[in-house]
C-alpha cells in the first residue's frame, strides 16, 4: 500500500446564514485521487483557490474528508482514533512563518511537538539538537524567533516538525512569503531531508521553479487533479499549464518559444544547462 | 515608540539569580513585596535595603539598566508624594495658604516613595533574570494545586507564553498599519477626543482582523503538531529544585522573620 | 515633477545597542514619468528609502526635494505630499477596514478634505482603473479573493490621484496569473496616465520586463543605477551580494562562452529569443 492513498476525495465548505440555512456551497476538493509512495518527493501545483491547501489539510487530518476515502500510513483518516497517529506521521509546515512558531526561544519551539506527544525529557533534547542540525539552524537554538529572517523561521518550523520524527512532511506554500534567498534556503533544506533522511515530501506551491527536482508533479484546478507526471512531462505542456493560471520557468518558456519559432529544441527543458547543451548541439 | 519600553525585559547574564528555579524566584518576590509593607521604622528600612542591594549585586544586572525602568512610574511617584505630604493629619511643620506639611506626612511620603521604588526594583529583578517561558513554567507549576478546583492552570500558562511571543509581532504590525493609513492621508493626532477615537478605527479594525487571522493560523499549527492540552505532555526542561534553591528558601524565610522582628522590637 | 534626494542618511535607534544605519548617503533624482525598479535583498534599505519619498520617515540627515521644495521645511505640507506620492505597502489588503470596498476606497479622498460626492467620484474612477468588477464594489472587502483584495487596496491609493505611485512588492503571495495582472495594471498606469512609478521587487525577471531604470540597493547604499541591461551586466557583482540577474542573462553569457554570438545584454525573454534566432539565422547564411 502507498504511504498516502486518496480515492475520490471530496471536501465542501458550506456557508450558512443566521438561520442555519445553506447559503452557498464551495466544492474545494472534487474527487481527488492521490498516491504517494514512502520516500517520494511529490509537488502539488495550482493557483490560489485551486484546492491545493484544502488537500494539504486533509493529509494531516486538520480537515476530515467530506466524501471518498483517505488512507495515510496505512490508517484510515476517517477513524477518529487514528487522528494523533496520523498527525505524528505526517507533519505540516504552513505558509506564514510567524504564525506557526509558538515559543519565544527557537529550541523551545522545536521541542513543542515532542512535548505534546509525551516524549521523555532526555530524548526531547536529543531530537531538538538533531532536527535543528538537519536544517542548519543549530547555532540559533537559544535565539528569539523574532530576530530571524523569513527563511530561517521556516527552517525552524521544519525542525519543529522533524523533531516529531514523521515519515512525511507536507509543506503548504512554505515559500510564498519569502524573498528569493529565503526561498532557496527552505527548498534546499527540504530537498536534503528527502534525499538524506528519506522523508516523504509533499510540496504545495505555485512557483514552478521549485518543482523541477520533484519525482512527480500533480497540477490542481477547481478542486480536481488535472495533470500529473514527471516535471519534464508536465513542463512540456506549456499551453495547458497557462490555461490553469500557472506559468513556466523562464528557461522552459524560452525553449518553448524557440521551438515554436522553428528551432529543433527538445520538449520539456527544465534547466539552463539543458538549454545551453541543446542549443550548442544545434549550432 | 512602543518598542522602546524596556521595563522588565529579560537581561541575559550568568548569575546565581538567573540560575534559580523560577518558582523560588516567584516565592522570594512575593515574600519581598510583603516585607515592604511590614517595615515601618528605619531599622526595618535598613534591613530591606540591605536585602535588595544584595540581590541586585548577585543578579549581575547593571543598576543603571534597572533604574531606567523607574522612569515609567515617575508620575505615580509624584502623586503619592503629594498626597501623603499634604493630606496626612498630625503636627504641622510648615504651612502656606491652605496647605500644610506635617511631620507624619513627611515620614509617610518618604516611606511610600521608598516602598514604591523598592517594589518596582524588586519585582523587575524577577523579570530581568527570568525568561518569559521560565516564568510561565514556574507559574504553571506553582499554581498546579488550583487545578483541583478546576482552574485551567495549563491553559492560562500557555496563553501567557503565546501572548509574550506575539506582543512584539503585533506591535510591529500596528506600526505598519499606522504607516499604511498615514499614506492614505489618515490623521491620528489632531482633533478632539471623539475625533481621535474615531480616527483609530482604520487602525484597530485591520489590527483585530490580523490578530484573529494569526490566532486561527496558530491554532491550526498547534493542532498539526499534536497539541491537545496539558494532559500527557512532557517537558524538554522540566523544573527541578537544586540545593541552592533550598538555601535561598531558607535565606528568604530568615529575612522575613528579621523584618517582622525589627517591626516588633525596635 | 521631480524628486531629488541629496545625501540622505537614516539611522534607526540612534545611540543605542541596536543602532542600524539603514540609509547611507543616498543621492537620487527621480524624473517625471519614469518607471523605476528598486531591487535589493531584505534589509538592504529599500523599504526605508521609499518611506522617505512621501515623508513617512524623516531623514536623519540630507535633503529631500519634491518639485524643488524641501519636504523637511517646517511649513511644508507633508500631508499633501502623501497624497501626491502614493505609497502602496506590502500586503496592502491588510489595511482594508471599511464595510464595503467602495467605502474603503473613499477613505483617502475623504482625508484629502474632498466632499462626499467628489470622493465617490474618485473612488469610482480608481476602482474602474484597477479593473475590479462592479458587482464586488459593495461587498465587504473580506469576501474578496487575495488578488481582488490587493486591487481594491491599490485603488484606495489611486483614488487620491497621486502623481507618483510607489509599490512595495505588490505581487508578494499572489499566484502567477495574479502577479501578471497586477504588474500589467501598474504598467498600464505608467503608459496611459504617464504616472511616475516606482516598483520594489524581488523578481529580476519582472523588473527586467517592465522598468526603464533599475536601482540596486545594498547595505543602505545605491549600488547600481541604470537601465536593466546596464545593471544586469554586473551579474557577477550582484551575485556576490546575494542578488542575481534574470535567468536568460546567464543563459546568454553561457551561450557566448560556448561560441554562439548571443547578445549578452538581453534581460527579457523576448530579447533573448530574438538574439538567439538571429545568431542561428546568420550562421545559416
Residue B13 · residue B60 · CB < 8 Å? yes
Sign of the CA dihedral A183, A189, A192, A194? negative
Q: What is the pLDDT of residue B3?
A: 46
DSSP secondary structure string for all residues of C89-150: -SSGGGG--SSSHHHHHHHHHHHTT--HHHHHHHHHHHHHHTT--GGGTTS-GGGS-HHHHH
Q: What is residue A39's DSSP assignment?
A: T
Residue ranges of E strands in chain B: 92-96, 99-102
Residue C92 · residue C153 · CB < 8 Å? yes
Confidence bin at B1 (pLDDT 50/70/90)? very low
pLDDT over threshold 50, residue B4: no
Alpha helix segments (H runs only) across A19-136:
52-59, 83-89, 106-116, 121-134
Tally of helices (H runs) and strands (E runs) in chain B: 11, 2
- C250 in contact with B, Cβ within 8 Å: no
Facing residue for A261 by CB, picked from C173, C242, C273: C273
Q: Is residue B140 part of a domain?
A: no
C21 Cα to chain A: minimum distance (Å) = 17
List the single best residue of C175, C238, C263 to mutate versus A (max A Cβ within 10 A). C175
Q: What nine digits make up the cell of A195?
A: 534525499
B174 Cα to chain A: minimum distance (Å) = 15
Domain residue limits at C262: 246-285
Q: Is residue C81 part of a domain?
A: no
Nearest to B21 by CA among B252, B257, B258: B252
Facing residue for A272 by CB, picked from C250, C269, C276: C250
Beta-carbon count within 10 A of A163 CB: 30
Q: Is residue C175 part of a domain?
A: no
B35 and B165 share a domain?
A: no
Q: Nearest 10 degrees: CA dihedral of A162, A166, A167, A173?
A: -60
List, for residues C230-282, the tens digit of each pLDDT value.
999 999 999 888 888 899 999 999 999 998 888 888 999 999 999 999 998 88
Q: Do B236 and A98 touch (CB under 8 A)?
A: no
Q: Do A164 and B225 touch (CB under 8 A)?
A: yes
B165 and B252 share a domain?
A: no
Q: What nine digits make up the cell of A140?
A: 540559533
Dmax (CA) of chain C: 69
Q: Do C89 and B181 touch (CB under 8 A)?
A: no
List, for residues B127-152, the tens digit of each pLDDT value.
888 887 788 889 888 888 888 888 88
CA angle A200, A203, A208 (to 5 degrees): 135
Distance of alpha carbon A277 from alpha carbon A279, whole angstroms? 6
Q: What is the pLDDT of residue C15?
A: 65
Residues in chain A, pLDDT under 70: none
Facing residue for A250 by CB, picked from C173, C269, C277: C269
Q: Is residue C250 part of a domain?
A: yes
Residues, chain A: 283
Quote the ipTM score: 0.90
Over residues B68-94, mean pLDDT:
78
Over residues B71-100, mean pLDDT:
78
- Which residue has cell 482604520? B202
SS3 call for A224:
strand
Alpha helix segments (H runs only) across chain C:
46-53, 78-84, 101-111, 116-129, 146-158, 176-193, 204-210, 228-232, 235-240, 247-257, 269-284
Distance of alpha carbon A81 from alpha carbon A58, whole angstroms? 15
B17 and B117 share a domain?
A: yes
- Which residue has cell 499606522? B178
Distance of alpha carbon C127 from alpha carbon C119, whole angstroms? 12
B131 Cα to chain A: minimum distance (Å) = 9
pLDDT over threshold 90, residue B219: yes
B248 and B229 share a domain?
A: no
Phi, psi for C97 (deg, rounded to 5): -145, -15
Q: Is residue B42 part of a domain?
A: yes
Residue B248 · residue B20 · CB < 8 Å? yes
Q: Is residue C279 part of a domain?
A: yes
- Which residue has cell 519543529? A160
Q: What nine digits make up the cell of C128?
A: 474602474
Q: Is residue C280 part of a domain?
A: yes
Facing residue for C108 by CB, picked from B177, B185, B209: B185
Residues, chain C: 285
| Residues paired with A55 in a beta bridge | none
List, for residues A254-274, the tens digit of each pLDDT value.
999 999 998 889 888 888 999
Q: What is residue A208's DSSP assignment?
A: G
Q: What is the pLDDT of residue B12?
A: 79
H/E segment holding residue B27: helix B22-36
Q: What is the pLDDT of residue B71?
A: 75
Q: Is residue B144 part of a domain?
A: no
Q: How many CA atoms lie within 13 A of A24 on its CB side?
A: 3
H/E segment holding residue C6: strand C3-12
Chain B residues with CB under 8 Å of a chain C CB are 176-177, 179-187, 201-202, 205-206, 209-210
Distance of alpha carbon C21 from alpha carbon B133, whole angstroms? 32
Residue C234 · residue C243 · CB < 8 Å? no
Q: How many CA atoms lie within 13 A of C66 on its CB side?
A: 18
pLDDT over threshold 60, residue B7: no
CA angle B183, B186, B187 (to 5 degrees): 125
Facing residue for A115 by CB, picked from B165, B213, B234: B234
SS3 call for B227:
coil
Domain residue limits at B169: 152-235
H/E segment holding residue A226: strand A224-229
Confidence bin at B9 (pLDDT 50/70/90)? confident
B216 and B125 share a domain?
A: no
- For A145, name the nearest residue in chain B, comparing CA atoms only: B165
Q: Do A279 and C283 touch (CB under 8 A)?
A: no
Integer CA distances (angstroms), C284 to A282, B34, C257, C277, C279, in order: 11, 96, 20, 11, 9
Q: What is the 3-state secondary structure (H, E, C) of A203-216?
A: EEECCHHHHCCCCE
| The domain over range A4-230 is classified in CATH as 3.40.50.300 | yes
Residues in chain C, pLDDT under 70: 15-18, 285
C105 Cα to chain B: minimum distance (Å) = 10
Q: Is residue C275 part of a domain?
A: yes
B218 and B257 share a domain?
A: no
Domain count, chain B: 2
Q: Is residue B253 part of a domain?
A: yes
Enumerate the residues of chain C whose CB falls inside 8 A of the CB of residue A275: 251
Distance of alpha carbon B225 from alpha carbon C192, whole angstroms? 51
Q: What nine digits make up the cell of A232?
A: 519534464
DSSP secondary structure string for all residues of C195-207: -EEEEE-S-HHHH
Q: What is the pLDDT of residue C18?
A: 67
More reliable by pLDDT, B10 or C180: C180
Q: Is residue C267 part of a domain?
A: yes
Q: Is residue C285 part of a domain?
A: yes
Q: Do A161 and B225 touch (CB under 8 A)?
A: yes
Amino acid at each position: 500500500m502507498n504511504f498516502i492513498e486518496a480515492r475520490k476525495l471530496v471536501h465542501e465548505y458550506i456557508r450558512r446564514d443566521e438561520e442555519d440555512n445553506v447559503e452557498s456551497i464551495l466544492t474545494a476538493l472534487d474527487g481527488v485521487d492521490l498516491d504517494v509512495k514512502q520516500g517520494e518527493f511529490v509537488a502539488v501545483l495550482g493557483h490560489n483557490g485551486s484546492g491545493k491547501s484544502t488537500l494539504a489539510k486533509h493529509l494531516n487530518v486538520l480537515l476530515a474528508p467530506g466524501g471518498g476515502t483517505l488512507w495515510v500510513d496505512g490508517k484510515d483518516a476517517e477513524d477518529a482514533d487514528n487522528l494523533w497517529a496520523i498527525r505524528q506521521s505526517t507533519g505540516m509546515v504552513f505558509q506564514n512563518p510567524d504564525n506557526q512558531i509558538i515559543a519565544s526561544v527557537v529550541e523551545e519551539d522545536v521541542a513543542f511537538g515532542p512535548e505534546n506527544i509525551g516524549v521523555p525529557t532526555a530524548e526531547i533534547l536529543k531530537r531538538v539538537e538533531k532536527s535543528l542540525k538537519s536544517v542548519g539552524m543549530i547555532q540559533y537554538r537559544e535565539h528569539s524567533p523574532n530576530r530571524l529572517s523569513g527563511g530561517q523561521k521556516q527552517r525552524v518550523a521544519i525542525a519543529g516538525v522533524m523533531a516529531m520524527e514523521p515519515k512525511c512532511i507536507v509543506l503548504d506554500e512554505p515559500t510564498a512569503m519569502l524573498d528569493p534567498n529565503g526561498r532557496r534556503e527552505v527548498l534546499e533544506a527540504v530537498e536534503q531531508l528527502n534525499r538524506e533522511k528519506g522523508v516523504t515530501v509533499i510540496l504545495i506551491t505555485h512557483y514552478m521553479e521549485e518543482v523541477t527536482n520533484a519525482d512527480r508533479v500533480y497540477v490542481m484546478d477547481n478542486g480536481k487533479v488535472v495533470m500529473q507526471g514527471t516535471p519534464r512531462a508536465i513542463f512540456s505542456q506549456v499551453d495547458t499549464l497557462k490555461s490553469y493560471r500557472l506559468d513556466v520557468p523562464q528557461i522552459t518558456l524560452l525553449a518553448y518559444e524557440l521551438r515554436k519559432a522553428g528551432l529543433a529544441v527538445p520538449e520539456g527543458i527544465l534547466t539552463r544547462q539543458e538549454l545551453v547543451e541543446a542549443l550548442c548541439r544545434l549550432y | 515608540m512602543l518598542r522602546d519600553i524596556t521595563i522588565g525585559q529579560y537581561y541575559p547574564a550568568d548569575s546565581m539569580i538567573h540560575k534559580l528555579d523560577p518558582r523560588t524566584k516567584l516565592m522570594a518576590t512575593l515574600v519581598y513585596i510583603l516585607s515592604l509593607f511590614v517595615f515601618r521604622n528605619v531599622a526595618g528600612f535598613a534591613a530591606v535595603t540591605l536585602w535588595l542591594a544584595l540581590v541586585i549585586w548577585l543578579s549581575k544586572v547593571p543598576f543603571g539598566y534597572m533604574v531606567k525602568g523607574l522612569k515609567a512610574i515617575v508620575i505615580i511617584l509624584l502623586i503619592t508624594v503629594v498626597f501623603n505630604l499634604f493630606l496626612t493629619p498630625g503636627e504641622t511643620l510648615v504651612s502656606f495658604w491652605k496647605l500644610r506639611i506635617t511631620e507624619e506626612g513627611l515620614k509617610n511620603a518618604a516611606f511610600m516613595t521608598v516602598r514604591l521604588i523598592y517594589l518596582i526594583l524588586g519585582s523587575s529583578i524577577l523579570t530581568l533574570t527570568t525568561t518569559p517561558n521560565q516564568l510561565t513554567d514556574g507559574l504553571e507549576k506553582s499554581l498546579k494545586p488550583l487545578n483541583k478546583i478546576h482552574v485551567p492552570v495549563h491553559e492560562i500558562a500557555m496563553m501567557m507564553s503565546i501572548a509574550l511571543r506575539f506582543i512584539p509581532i503585533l506591535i510591529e504590525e500596528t506600526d505598519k498599519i499606522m504607516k499604511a493609513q498615514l499614506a492614505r492621508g489618515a490623521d491620528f493626532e489632531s482633533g478632539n477626543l471623539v475625533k481621535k477615537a474615531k480616527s483609530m478605527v482604520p487602525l484597530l479594525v485591520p489590527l483585530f482582523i490580523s490578530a484573529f487571522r494569526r490566532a486561527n493560523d496558530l491554532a491550526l499549527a498547534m493542532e498539526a503538531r499534536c497539541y491537545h492540552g496539558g494532559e500527557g505532555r512532557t517537558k524538554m526542561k522540566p523544573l527541578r529544585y537544586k540545593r541552592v534553591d533550598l538555601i535561598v528558601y531558607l535565606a528568604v524565610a530568615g529575612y522575613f522573620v528579621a523584618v517582622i522582628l525589627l517591626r516588633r522590637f525596635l | 515633477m521631480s524628486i531629488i534626494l541629496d545625501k540622505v542618511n537614516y539611522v534607526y535607534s540612534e545611540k543605542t545597542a541596536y543602532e542600524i544605519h539603514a540609509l547611507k548617503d543616498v543621492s537620487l533624482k527621480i524624473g517625471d514619468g519614469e518607471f523605476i525598479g528598486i531591487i535589493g535583498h531584505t534589509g538592504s534599505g529599500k523599504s526605508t528609502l521609499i518611506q522617505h519619498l512621501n515623508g513617512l520617515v524623516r531623514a536623519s540627515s540630507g535633503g529631500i526635494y519634491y518639485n524643488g521644495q524641501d519636504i523637511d521645511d517646517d511649513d511644508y505640507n507633508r500631508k499633501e505630499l502623501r497624497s501626491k506620492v502614493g505609497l502602496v505597502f506590502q500586503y496592502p489588503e491588510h489595511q482594508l477596514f471599511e464595510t464595503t470596498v467602495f467605502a474603503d476606497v473613499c477613505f483617502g479622498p475623504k482625508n484629502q478634505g474632498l466632499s462626499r460626492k467628489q470622493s465617490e467620484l474618485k473612488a469610482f474612477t480608481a476602482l474602474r482603473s484597477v479593473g475590479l468588477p462592479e458587482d464586488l464594489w459593495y461587498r465587504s472587502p473580506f469576501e474578496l479573493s487575495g488578488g481582488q483584495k490587493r486591487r481594491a487596496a491599490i485603488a484606495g491609493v489611486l483614488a487620491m490621484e497621486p502623481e507618483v505611485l510607489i509599490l512595495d512588492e505588490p505581487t508578494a503571495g499572489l499566484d502567477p496569473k495574479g502577479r501578471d495582472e497586477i504588474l500589467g495594471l501598474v504598467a498600464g498606469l505608467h503608459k496611459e496616465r504617464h504616472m511616475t512609478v516606482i516598483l520594489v521587487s524581488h523578481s529580476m525577471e519582472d523588473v527586467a520586463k517592465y522598468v526603464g531604470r533599475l536601482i540596486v540597493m545594498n547595505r543602505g547604499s545605491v549600488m547600481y543605477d541604470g537601465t536593466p541591461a546596464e545593471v544586469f551586466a554586473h551579474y557577477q557583482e550582484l551575485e556576490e551580494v546575494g542578488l542575481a540577474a534574470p535567468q536568460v542573462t546567464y543563459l546568454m553569457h553561457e551561450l557566448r562562452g560556448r561560441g554562439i554570438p548571443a547578445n549578452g545584454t538581453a534581460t527579457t525573454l523576448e530579447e533573448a529569443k530574438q538574439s538567439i534566432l538571429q545568431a542561428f539565422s546568420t550562421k545559416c547564411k
